[in-house]
């Protein structure tokens, strides 16, 4: 059996993060992402996730904050323009549910993460890939210098994603 | 009038009632007045300092305290107005034009003290920054993020701040003018630990 493959449809969906500032939630989105997803439930090795997000596309609706997030103390988008996720381990958890384990690269840090995802039909052969997961921003050196403070800028950041996938010919 | 006495009153040998009397402000009104006066001062220090800083942790902390204290102040002003309805303040000793000036300026002070926190909250919401009260709970956002609205709210907040400062300066000037020139009890009846609160309500 061949793997089923899809590409992420640009702009169709959202990647939202929620951090905290002074105890209150602060949300932002990334609008520019791309990727290719293959799921092979028959083989242990056929699956592959490759997703990249352009960090400069961050939008918190507060221009000064976006500028700071793109800057050297946070994403440093000039030096590391992409956040990358790469996985070859996709384990089925149930109908339309998988556990994806792979490497996340943010800035100069690469760590192994494991994210539960859902795959649901979205009409016309398309699919919707969604999930939720959280990270500790300091694990990835997001927030240097004064921003390493976690009392006023929370360490934990929630990530919520829901993107549209378009089927493509198998790998 | 048989008012409740507090221990402090006995220690000064002079009765300051909890409630307002026709001669003076009681302890509740005095405490709220001076507490709010102190908070307003802190609000200016934090607000102006924060506004002078670029995005930084220091600005974030100052603004967080400014917002939390500003909301506290808002609650205290509501409490103060409620108390004022329950316990009428002493009548204004001055005659027609001065009395109107006092009413107008006190009314303007209350209006600004109520409006500024709401405008500040609107400003924060429109700037996409949710307001938290000392990190204990978050307030709902009054509006969705809107840069144009944020711009206008900032301008309104600033204009109100300078108007408030102007009225407060006039207010303090008037208090001293009453005390040293008119020599009536208008200042002393807002002060604890004074006997002069009992002085005749009318200037000579
Ligand atoms: C009576 C209460 C308050 C007073 C007297 C006050 C006064 C001030 C003053 C003097 C400034 C500096 C303005 C400047 O120089 O540009 C300021 C800035 C500010 N205030 Fe308030 N404020 C009050 C309540 C609040 C509240 C409750 C909030 C939010 C919930 C708030 C949010 C802000 C913000 C966000 C700024 C910074 C504007 C900026 O630099 O971008 N204020 N305030
Ligand atoms: C050193 C500073 C201040 C002094 C010496 C002062 C003095 C006084 C005095 C003597 C009164 C009583 C007036 C009367 O008997 O009719 C009064 C009332 C009042 N003060 Fe102040 N004050 C000061 C600061 C402030 C500040 C910062 C605010 C608020 C922004 C404020 C708001 C008020 C209001 C609203 C009243 C009217 C009270 C009522 O409801 O009858 N004062 N003040």
| Residues B43-47: contacts with CB under 8 Å, at least 24 apart | B43/B69, B43/B70, B43/B73, B44/B161, B44/B165, B47/B161
- The CA-atom distances, in angstroms, between B70 and each of A21, B28, B38, B66, B128 are 18, 20, 12, 6, 18
Number of neighbouring beta carbons within 10 Å of residue A46: 19
pLDDT band at A132 (very low <50, low <70, confident <90, very high): very high
Q: What is the average per-residue pLDDT within A8-33?
A: 95
- The CA-atom distances, in angstroms, between B13 and each of A105, B8, B23, B90 are 74, 8, 17, 22
CA of A153 to the centre of ligand 2 (A): 38
Please give the class, per CATH, of domain B27-190.
Answer: mainly alpha
CA of B70 to the centre of ligand 1 (A): 8
Among the listed residues A24, A36, A82, A86, the one whose alpha carbon sits nearest the alpha carbon of residue A58:
A82
Q: What is the average per-residue pLDDT within A119-138?
A: 94
Q: Is A123 left (phi over 0), alpha (psi -120 to 50) or beta?
A: left
Please give the class, per CATH, of domain A4-167.
Answer: mainly beta
A152 inside 8 A of chain B by CB: yes
Q: What is the average per-residue pLDDT within B85-111?
A: 93
A60 inside 8 A of chain B by CB: yes
The reported pLDDT for the residue numbered B195 is 61
Among the listed residues A98, A81, A86, the one whose alpha carbon sits nearest the alpha carbon of residue A40:
A98
CB contacts, 8 Å: A147 with chain B:
57
Res. B9: pLDDT tops 60 = no
Which value does ipTM take for this structure? Answer: 0.89
Q: What is the pLDDT of residues A47-105, one digit of tens each?
A: 999 999 999 999 999 999 999 999 999 999 999 999 999 999 999 999 999 999 999 99
Backbone angles phi, psi at B158, to 5 degrees: -65, -45
Let me know: does A40 contact B123? Beta carbons within 8 Å.
no
pLDDT band at B105 (very low <50, low <70, confident <90, very high): very high
Among chain A residues, the shortest Cα distance to B68 is held by A22
DSSP H/E element including B46: helix B27-51
The answer to which of A46-60, A115-129, A143-157, B190-204 has the lowest mean pLDDT is B190-204
The reported pLDDT for the residue numbered B14 is 59
Residue nearest (by alpha carbon) to ligand 2 atom 7? B175
CB contacts, 8 Å: A65 with chain B:
55, 128
The radius of gyration of chain B's CA atoms, rounded to the nearest angstrom, is 20
Q: What is the pLDDT of residues B21-71, one digit of tens each?
A: 998 999 999 999 999 999 999 999 999 999 999 999 999 999 999 999 999
- Domain ranges across chain B: 27-190
Q: Which of B38, B39, B44, B47 to mutate to test the pocket of ligand 1 (most atoms within 8 A of CB)?
A: B47
Let me know: does A165 contact A7? Beta carbons within 8 Å.
yes
Of the partner residues B128, B134, B138, the one whose CB lies closest to the CB of residue A60 = B128
Number of neighbouring beta carbons within 10 Å of residue A127: 22
Which DSSP string do the residues of B47-101 spell out, in sequence order? HHHHHTSPSSHHHHHHHHHHHHHHHHHHHHHHHHHHHHHHSPPPPP-S-HHHHHH
Among chain B residues, the shortest Cα distance to A154 is held by B135
How long, in residues, is chain B? 204
Interface contact B145-A25, CB threshold 8 A: no
Among chain A residues, the shortest Cα distance to B138 is held by A24
How far, in Å, CA of A29 to CA of B97, rounded? 58
Instruction: Tell how far CA B28 is from the center of its chain.
Output: 14
Res. B4: pLDDT tops 50 = no
């Amino acid at each position: 059996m061949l793997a089923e493959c899809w590409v992420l449809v640009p702009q169709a969906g959202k990647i939202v993060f929620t951090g905290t500032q002074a105890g209150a939630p602060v949300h932002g989105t990334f609008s520019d992402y791309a990727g290719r997803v293959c799921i092979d439930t028959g083989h242990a090795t056929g699956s592959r996730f490759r997703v990249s997000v352009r960090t400069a596309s961050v939008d918190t609706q507060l221009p000064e904050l976006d500028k700071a997030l793109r800057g050297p103390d946070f994403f440093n988008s000039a030096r590391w323009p992409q956040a990358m996720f790469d996985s070859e381990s996709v384990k089925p958890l149930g109908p339309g549910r998988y556990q994806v384990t792979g490497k996340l690269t943010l800035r100069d840090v690469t760590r192994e993460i494991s994210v539960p995802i859902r795959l649901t039909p979205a009409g016309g052969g398309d699919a919707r890939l969604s999930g939720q997961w959280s990270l500790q921003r300091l694990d990835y050196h997001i927030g240097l210098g004064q921003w390493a403070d976690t009392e006023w800028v929370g360490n934990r950041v929630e990530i919520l994603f829901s993107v549209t996938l378009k089927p493509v010919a198998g790998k | 009038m048989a008012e409740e006495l507090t221990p402090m009153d006995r220690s000064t040998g002079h009765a300051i009632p909890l409630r307002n009397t026709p001669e003076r402000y009681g302890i509740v009104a005095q405490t709220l007045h001076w507490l709010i006066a102190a908070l307003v001062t802190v609000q200016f220090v934090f607000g102006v300092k924060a506004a002078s800083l670029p995005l930084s942790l220091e600005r974030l902390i100052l603004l967080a305290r400014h917002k939390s204290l500003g909301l506290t102040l808002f609650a205290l002003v509501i409490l103060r107005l409620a108390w004022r309805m329950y316990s009428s303040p002493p009548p204004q000793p001055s005659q027609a034009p001065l009395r109107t000036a006092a009413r107008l300026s006190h009314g303007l002070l209350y209006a600004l003290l109520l409006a500024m926190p709401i405008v500040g909250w609107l400003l924060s919401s429109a700037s996409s920054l949710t307001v938290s009260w000392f990190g204990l709970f978050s307030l709902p956002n009054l509006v969705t993020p809107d840069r144009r609205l944020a711009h206008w709210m900032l301008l309104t907040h600033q204009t109100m701040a300078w108007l408030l400062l102007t009225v407060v300066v006039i207010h303090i000037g008037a208090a001293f003018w009453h005390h040293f020139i008119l020599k009536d009890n208008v200042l002393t009846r807002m002060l604890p630990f004074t006997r002069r609160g009992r002085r005749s309500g009318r200037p000579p």
